[in-house]
Chains A and B, each alone.
Chain A
Amino acid sequence: QERLVESGGGVVQPGRSLRLSCAASGFYFSTYGMHWLRQAPGKGLEWVAVISYDGSTKYYTDSVKGRFTISRDNSKNTLYLQMNSLRAEDTAVYYCARDREGGAFDPWGQGTLVTVSS
């Protein structure tokens, strides 16, 4: 069974850092591009970042460029999101998802909540 499990969320003060992890199982992780997406409380879905299957290519949405870094460790079947200089507007449930057909997302993890507050 294909599965993604996020961890690492929590409450953090503005300006601080947090690293999210996403553990994959049930599929060949090293052959897929992977994404991070987020959903602010009561709001819609927003794509955050993508990394290619081998980690060589990365893209970010404009609002997180220079602050967030996506990475992966294919030996551990794990995806990461390093979030620095966090802002209140980064408060959201963060989901990891596998790339499907060049830009659809399937499956999704259950999400991890990040709250940026003083």
Chain B
Amino acid sequence: EIVMTQSPVALSVSPGERATLSCRASQSVNSNLAWYQQKPGQAPRLLIYGASTRATGIPARFSGSGSGTEFTLTILSLQSEDFAVYYCQQYKYWPQFTFGPGTKVDIK
């Protein structure tokens, strides 16, 4: 099984600042990596797929990068609505899809 890890576990950021979230896979997943945002009491929402492609309707302040085993989600100029938990997920080893444990981004 591919194990996904995320760092940091939690991140405190002031509105308007940049947040950088990391995700690591235990084996190469090429670019088969997605990022999701989940707010309390809500379903997850797809932000990024293919490691760097923004999903429909996702603001340009969200960007993804990386390939192989190391990935980054960058949120430029955090807005109040961006404070949430972010998960990465690999889908190279179909159908054994696995998620990271999440990074919580809260207000500093």
Q: Which residues of A contact B (CB under 8 A)?
A: 44-47, 50, 59, 61, 95, 100-111
CA distance A101 to B23 in the complex (A): 20
CA distance A61 to B45 in the complex (A): 22
Give per-residue flags for B88-108: 1 if the beta carbon is below 8 A from chain A beta carbons, else 0.
010110111111111000000
Task: Check A103/B87 contact, CB under 8 A, given A45-B99, A108-B43.
Answer: no
Q: Considering only CB atoms and an 8 Å cut-off, how many residues of chain B contact the other chain?
A: 24
User: Contact: A45 with B91, CB < 8 Å?
Assistant: no
| B108 to A: closest C-beta gap in Å | 23
CA distance A102 to B30 in the complex (A): 14
User: Contact: B44 with A45, CB < 8 Å?
Assistant: yes
Interface of A, secondary structure class, is strand
Chain B: which residue is nearest A108 at the CB level? B43
Task: How many A-B residue pairs have C-beta atoms within 8 angstroms? Tell me.
Answer: 61
| B81 to A: closest C-beta gap in Å | 18
CA distance A109 to B42 in the complex (A): 9
User: Contact: A44 with B44, CB < 8 Å?
Assistant: no
Task: Check A102/B91 contact, CB under 8 A, given A45-B99, A47-B97.
Answer: yes
User: Contact: B49 with A104, CB < 8 Å?
Assistant: yes
User: Contact: A44 with B46, CB < 8 Å?
Assistant: no
B50 interface residue per 8 A CB criterion: yes
User: Contact: B49 with A101, CB < 8 Å?
Assistant: yes
| B1 to A: closest C-beta gap in Å | 9
Which chain A positions have C-beta within 8 A of B78?
A: none
User: Contact: B46 with A107, CB < 8 Å?
Assistant: yes
CA distance A70 to B96 in the complex (A): 16
Chain A: which residue is nearest B94 at the CB level? A103
Interfacial residues of chain B within 46-68, with CB under 8 A of chain A in the complex: 46, 49-50, 55
Which chain B positions have C-beta within 8 A of A111?
A: 43
User: Contact: A104 with B89, CB < 8 Å?
Assistant: yes
Which chain B positions have C-beta within 8 A of A106?
A: 45-46, 49, 55
User: Contact: A103 with B99, CB < 8 Å?
Assistant: no
Task: Check A44/B101 contact, CB under 8 A, given A100-B49, A104-B89, A108-B45.
Answer: yes
